[in-house]
Amino acid sequence: MTYDVDALRAREFPWAAAAEAIYLNHASTGPLPQRTLDATTEFNRLRAAPHRLTDTLQFATLARSRELIASLIGAAAGEIALTTNTSYGINLAAFSLPFAAGDVIISPDLEFPANVYPWMQLAAKRGVVYRRVECPDGVFDAEMLRREVQDGPVRALAVSWVGFASGARVDLASLGAACRDHGVFFIVDAIQGLGPLTLNVGALAVDVLACGAQKWLLSPWGSGFVYVRRELIGQLEPHDVSWMGVKGSDDFTNLVDYDLAWREDARRFEFITLPFQDFAGMNASVGLLHELDPAAVARHIAHLVDVVVSWAADRDDVELVTPAGPERRAGIVSVRPRDARAVSDRLRAAGIWHSLREGAVRLSPHAYNTESEMALTLDIIGRPA
């Protein structure tokens, strides 16, 4: 670990340093670092008197967002479109990729609804066949998905990098290679993976990757992004058309010379007006992750998850839902005690924030959480009823 957790807590998460709560619910909503609060406050201060807030500052904020995200995932800034949530990116994939009636689109069963309902709607509207592949024991099996792609016919695979309930992680490289070899579009929901894991999307055969920033990227609601592989951008037209998705729209002095000629980069998919203040906040948060070093953040989170995995392995009264192997998990670790709801109530009473998902207690620590917080949490989970 290349950073000081105590210093990080004192500087960016003073409520955690003051032991106001133990927050292990980043898979739901991440807290805002102090620098992010400061950035959004300053942006809104300027917004209160709009003559202080220039167009240059607004659009430079968005440009910086694309650069920071591109650097975080190993992409080019021109492959990044800013969005307000993950759902926008999944809908972009569903309704802009060239699907035809009869095309088969698959995803694992037990996906988060954001990666299910757009495909159901596509099937209803355009006659594609949407099929969910069963997940044995509630954990999706990458090998099973790979066989589905290989045996076909499949036109697209849509999958979460990390499952929201089980915390199971898929091997993007292996699945992407199978999709590439069989001419299958590969769409990834990355919201539960990016932050606890690092990513070089340029080395993967991912076509579209969507990610909201409000969880593991510690950013405001209303911030997120979608990556579209460069070679694909020119082949896709936006389903939702923004007035700034076209060339020449940066010139606000000449807006009625209408020309439906799309921008050549992923900005053709951005739906303006975006919440500039939220992206100013996202820039501060993602900047913090860069400062800490994303690999160091990932190692710290993995260590805290290891603590839970090792603890659960020694007990017969708690089932580990998340796969035990480190290559199969990320920042989510779910355990199923005999009475999960009662355990959840005890954790809440102790000021430990978590989630109850699909009958299991879901813990999701981040860069500023400590071993002592994990130990106290596990002590409460393991207490007799």
Model confidence pLDDT, tens digit, residues 289-335: 999 999 999 999 999 999 999 999 999 999 999 999 999 999 999 99
**Structure confidence at residue 2 (pLDDT):** 65
Q: Say if residue 26 is in the same domain as residue 96.
A: no
Q: What is the pLDDT of residues 356-385, one digit of tens each?
A: 998 999 999 999 999 999 999 999 999 987
For 40-44, 59-63, 135-139, 309-313, which range has the lowest pLDDT when averaged over its residues?
135-139
**Structure confidence at residue 139 (pLDDT):** 73
Residue where a domain stops, chosen among 291, 308, 342:
291
Q: Say if residue 221 is in the same domain as residue 352.
A: no
**Structure confidence at residue 1 (pLDDT):** 46
Q: Say if residue 128 is in the same domain as residue 157.
A: yes
State yes or no: pLDDT of 262 exceeds 80. Answer: yes
Which residue matches tokens 């972009």? 92
Q: What is the pLDDT of residues 120-164, one digit of tens each?
A: 999 999 999 999 998 777 677 778 888 889 888 999 999 999 999
Our CA dihedral for 63, 64, 67, 68, rounded to 10 degrees, sits at -150
Q: What is the mean pLDDT of residues 211-225?
A: 98
Q: Say if residue 73 is in the same domain as residue 108.
A: yes
CATH number at residue 25: 3.90.1150.10
Q: Say if residue 254 is in the same domain as residue 171.
A: yes
**Structure confidence at residue 138 (pLDDT):** 67
Q: Say if residue 244 is in the same domain as residue 302.
A: no
Domain-embedded: residue 175 = yes
> Given pLDDT bands bounded at 50, 70 and 90, which one contains residue 339?
very high
Domain-embedded: residue 250 = yes
**Coil, strand, or helix at residue 263?**
coil
Q: Are strands 104-108 and 80-83 parallel, antiparallel or unpaired?
A: unpaired
Which residue matches tokens 């003051």? 18
State yes or no: pLDDT of 70 exceeds 60. Answer: yes
Other C-beta atoms lying within 10 Å of the C-beta of residue 196: 30
Residue where a domain stops, chosen among 291, 310, 335:
291
Q: Say if residue 273 is in the same domain as residue 209.
A: yes
Domain-embedded: residue 205 = yes
Domain-embedded: residue 155 = yes
- Could you tell me the residue range of the domain that residue 159 belongs to? 41-291
Contact yes or no for 75/265 (Cβ under 8 A): no
CATH number at residue 135: 3.40.640.10
Q: Say if residue 123 is in the same domain as residue 184.
A: yes
Q: What share of the chain is helix, strand, coil (3-state, %, to 5)?
A: 45, 15, 40
Can you give the pTM of this predicted structure?
0.96
Q: Say if residue 345 is in the same domain as residue 285.
A: no
Q: Say if residue 286 is in the same domain as residue 298.
A: no
Residue where a domain stops, chosen among 242, 268, 291:
291
What does 193-258 look like in DSSP terms, one character per residue?
TBTTB---GGGS--SEEEEESSSTT---TT-EEEEE-HHHHTT---SSPPTTSBTTTT-TT---S-
Q: What is the mean pLDDT of residues 233-248?
A: 95
Q: What is the mean pLDDT of residues 271-276?
A: 96
Tell me the pLDDT of the chain averaged across its residues: 95
Which tokens hold the place of 330? 């990320």
For 20-29, 50-59, 86-95, 129-138, which range has the lowest pLDDT when averaged over its residues?
129-138
State yes or no: pLDDT of 29 exceeds 60. Answer: yes
Domain-embedded: residue 146 = yes
Q: Say if residue 66 is in the same domain as residue 177.
A: yes
The helix-helix angle for 172-181 and 142-151 (nearest 10°) equals 0
Q: Say if residue 249 is in the same domain as residue 366.
A: no
**Structure confidence at residue 59 (pLDDT):** 96
Our CA dihedral for 207, 86, 118, 101, rounded to 10 degrees, sits at -10
Q: How many residues are listed for the chain in this entry?
A: 385
Number of domains the chain contains: 2
Domain-embedded: residue 36 = no
